[in-house]
């Protein structure tokens, strides 16, 4: 995303921020996981895949997701602000912390959706028009079970032949997660006509609805 200067001026930038010159990213019909998650009770996991607006938007339209919060994973608390993270040198990744009910949607099913419509696993330190280490694609398991399933699914995707380029998405050790500024939360829901949302993120949700009709829900779950 193009930098927003500060929360106080965010509203005035909605018409111009995050402009993009190219066509929206495509979707990929990812396979069901061969190794499935075995979890009970509400769980959380963190996903980093470029601009957090779109990743939050996708997860907020999945049945069984009770919360999706945009924020910064890794780095230090002192630099966990949008202005500083946007410099690309703080170590943070724009990410989304997802809380979900495994009785409705399993972790491996979230992984499948994430790589189908959320993030291109072949792009290194970028997604679409956004460049920098803060836009890296990473899975951040919050348990040994999630780590087991994530590693197995990445290995499965690497031999799937779905992408011509090598997969560079990685698993990162869980570190501190810092919620992003209030004006970033539920951004797609609050700003459906924003140019960036219409170009890059609305197609992700449309892809979710088309590829995963059983998991998709029309209502947006606020973070």
Catalytic residues: 51
> What tokens were used for 149?
């399933």
Task: Classify the phi-psi angles of 78: left when phi > 0, otherwise alpha if psi is within -120 to 50, otherwise beta.
Answer: alpha
Measured CA to CA, the distance from residue 115 to residue 132 in angstroms comes to: 20
DSSP designation for 152: H
Q: Helix (H, G, I), strand (E, B), or coil: what is residue 61?
A: coil
Measured CA to CA, the distance from residue 6 to residue 106 in angstroms comes to: 37
> What tokens were used for 127?
């997604």
CA 46: distance to chain centroid? 8
């Amino acid at each position: 995303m193009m930098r927003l200067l500060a929360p106080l001026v965010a509203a005035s930038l909605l018409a111009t921020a995050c402009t993009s010159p190219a066509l929206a990213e495509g979707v990929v019909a990812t396979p069901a996981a061969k190794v499935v998650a075995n979890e009970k009770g509400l769980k959380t996991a963190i996903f980093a895949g470029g601009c957090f607006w779109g990743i939050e938007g996708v997860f907020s339209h999945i049945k069984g997701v009770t919360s999706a919060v945009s924020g910064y994973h890794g780095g230090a608390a002192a630099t966990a602000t949008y202005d500083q993270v946007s410099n690309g040198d703080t170590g943070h990744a724009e990410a989304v912390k997802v809380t979900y009910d495994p009785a409705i949607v399993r972790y491996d099913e979230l992984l499948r959706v994430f790589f189908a419509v959320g993030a291109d696993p072949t792009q290194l330190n970028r997604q679409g028009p956004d460049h920098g280490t803060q836009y890296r694609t990473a899975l951040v398991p919050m348990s040994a079970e999630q780590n087991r399933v994530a590693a197995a699914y990445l290995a499965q995707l690497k031999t799937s032949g779905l992408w011509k380029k090598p997969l560079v998405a990685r698993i990162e050790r869980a570190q501190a997660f810092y919620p992003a500024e209030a004006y970033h939360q539920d951004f797609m829901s609050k700003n459906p006509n924003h140019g960036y949302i219409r170009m890059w993120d609305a197609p992700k949700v449309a892809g979710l609805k088309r590829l995963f009709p059983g998991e998709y829900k029309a209502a947006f779950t606020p973070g």
